[in-house]
Chains A and B, each alone.
Chain A
Amino acid sequence: MGLRKKILIAFLLLAAAMILPLFFKNSRYTLNLLNLAGIFIILTYSLNFTHGYLGLISIGQAGFFAIGAYVTAGLTMALGLPYFPALLLAGVASSIAGLLIGFPATRISGHYFVLITLGFGEIVRLIILNWKEVTNGTNGVNNIPAPTLGPWVFDTRFSYYYLVLFFVLLTLLVTLSLRCSKYGRSMLALKLGELVATVMGVNPLTNKLINFGLSAFFAGLSGGLYASYVGSISPEPFSVNLSVDVLTMLLVGGSGTIVGPAIGATFLVFLKEWLRFMKEYYMILYGAGIVLVMIFMPYGLVGLVHRIASRFQSPSD
């Protein structure tokens, strides 16, 4: 596919995303799903940095998400900061947490890395649960104000959609920029062969730390968007279940691809809704689906599309 064609497709998709909510203006239910999908898309891209570019599996993404949510809520409510600086600071706070767990985590690989991230996510949740003076414990934080920017208030599901869309695009642009940069290449090289990459002059430590910082920043950002969207937060949703959900979205969509995370997150947010009639049994189907994806679609939905497309093309050299 030529560059021109790619840009054209990107513009068409953007236009589609811009007019999509117009069709659902009267369906608050669908708008809600779209907004949640958008927030999860950003969270899934945040994990895509770590898994797609370093090949490391993290199941602590909920921890960064929670930090972003609580810091945004705290800064806007307790300190009265405007929303957007608060959101930025929430990303930075989350990023700092990412660097902190990065220091031990960069010296460790494989299963132990996964355990560190699992531990991190649980620690964050337990701190939120027990540090009642700041986080209000299980009662959570309520009445988080809607974001405002000058004359605009993002207090309807319809308007919030465009706020989320803006940040989805930002995340996508950063992903694209990283992929075509020396840092993205170095990270991919570390994923594909850490030892060889190091011998070719790639510093594994700084590249991994940068990656964790970036990943945590966007996870924090999506947490901040989530907090002011739902208006009240409690420790409950920030459990390891959320981290596993995000990992699933990434793997189903296609890790390391440009559009995979967006497809995976959207697909699973809607799938969960469609399977709601099955009550708790949906987990069985959901689980079985994930296993099948892992076995038959190692590169996710995006990989599947590529495979089908290449079957219809004549092999060229």
Chain B
Amino acid sequence: MTALLNIEKLSMRFGGLFAVSEVDLHVHQGEIRGLIGPNGAGKTTILNVVNGIYRPTSGSIMFDAKKITGLSPHVITRLGVARTFQSIQAFQGLSVLENVMVARHTRSSVDFISTLLKTPRARREEAGIVDKAMASLRFVGLGDRKDFDAVNLPYGQKRLMEIARALATEPKILLLDEPTAGMNESETLPLIRLIRQIRDQGITIILIEHNMRLVMDLCDRISVFDFGVKIAEGTRMEIQDNPKVIEAYLGTGDRYASC
């Protein structure tokens, strides 16, 4: 079986620095894949390239048997790639519901003039947008927060709203960039359950995370990065004992000793 996401020899250079270098990554349908590694290892850069935010220096990305390298972000989203960000990226000033509704634009088709004139078709579509957005919000447990200004949500709920927003695009794959960053233990546990539920709906997940317990708990396979290179990959047992991984995380003592 071919993988849902096939990344071949992906390199991303900023000036003279290779943020990602010759990375291969194959993520299968229904899998939860963890990307781990020290800060600056190039994990977020990989997601940004998959999303089309960056155009890779070289290499190719196949998603769902389509080449998506070089496509615009909104096109890639329509093909079924959704994303949350490391830092909160709510549309502040829009309500929680509207934040999620924005993500339905890519799944709607009524033209501008009909929308403005509120034709029956446009009304039906708008009602559908509300329904789907509400379903997403209820799924993450924010159904009762729909009318809040997104600014006023507590931190953890803002993160949940962003997951709801990403799910509202109806993705085949969901890229989660440090979903628990800044969350406390009591907020993290429900999130683990939620991520499992998302996978159980058939959505493949790529997860960047520093919380090792969560990674080990959730991920089917884990890819480890250091300085833009993939240094290890496998199940949690396989990578836990990998000497390269231990070195990247703990260091060997001579890593920064230069003179």
Is A188 close to B, CB under 8 A? yes
| Surface stretch bound by A, among B26-34, B86-94, B195-203, B250-258 | B86-94
Interface size on B, residues (CB 8 A): 36
Q: Which of B77, B116, B122, B126 meets A201, CB within 8 Å? A: B77
B165 at the interface (CB under 8 A from A): yes
Asked if residues A188 and B93 are in contact (CB atoms below 8 Å), the reply is yes
A174 in the interface (beta carbon within 8 A): yes
Known contacts A182-B108, A200-B103: does B94 contact A188 (CB below 8 Å)? yes
Given contacts A192-B91, A200-B169, A201-B78, contact A182 B103 (CB under 8 A): no
> Does B72 count as interface, using CB distance less than 8 angstroms?
yes
Is B106 positioned at the interface, with any CB of A under 8 Å from its CB?
yes
In contact, B89 and A201 (Cβ under 8 angstroms) = no
Contact with B along A163-189 (1 / 0, CB 8 A): 000000000001001100111011011
Q: Which residues of chain B (10-67) have a CB below 8 Å from chain A?
A: 51, 53
Tell whether A201 pairs with B105 under 8 Å between CB atoms, given A182-B126, A183-B112, A195-B53: yes
- When chains A and B are docked, how far (Å) is the Cα of A189 from the Cα of B73? 15
In the complex, per-residue mask of A196-220: 1 if CB is within 8 Å of any chain B CB, else 0: 1111111110000010000000000
Q: Which residues of B contact A196 (CB under 8 A)?
A: 85, 89, 91
How near does chain B come to A193, taking the closest CB pair, in angstroms?
6
Q: A186 touching B72 by the CB < 8 A rule?
A: no
The secondary-structure label for the interface of chain B is helix
Cβ-neighbour of B103 out of A174, A177, A195, A201 (below 8 A): A201
Please measure, in the bound complex, the distance between the C-alpha atom of A177 and the C-alpha atom of B92, giving whole angstroms. Answer: 21
Asked whether any CB of chain A lies closer than 8 Å to the CB of B209, the reply is no
List of A residues within 8 angstroms of B106 by Cβ:
200-202
Tell me, rounded to whole Å, the shortest Cβ–Cβ distance linking A14 to chain B: 20
B110 contacts across to A, CB distance below 8 A: 182
Is the CB–CB distance between A185 and B89 below 8 Å?
no
- Verify if B115 is at the interface (C-beta below 8 Å from A): yes
B115 close to A181 (CB less than 8 A): yes
Say if the beta carbon of B218 comes within 8 Å of chain A.
Answer: no
- Flag whether B124 is at the interface (Cβ < 8 A): no
Most buried by B among A182, A193, A198, A200: A200
Shortest distance between the CB of B118 and any CB in chain A (Å):
6
Tell which of B74, B108, B118, B122 has the most Cβ of chain A within 10 Å: B74
Give 5 CB contacts A-B under 8 Å.
Answer: A177-B116, A198-B77, A199-B74, A201-B105, A203-B72
| Chain B interface (Cβ < 8 Å from any Cβ of A) | 51, 53, 72-74, 77-78, 83, 85, 89, 91-94, 98, 101-108, 110, 112, 115-118, 122, 125-126, 129, 165-166, 169
Name 9 extra pairs, CB < 8 A, besides A177-B116, A182-B104, A185-B101.
A178-B116, A181-B115, A182-B105, A189-B102, A199-B53, A200-B102, A200-B103, A201-B107, A203-B105
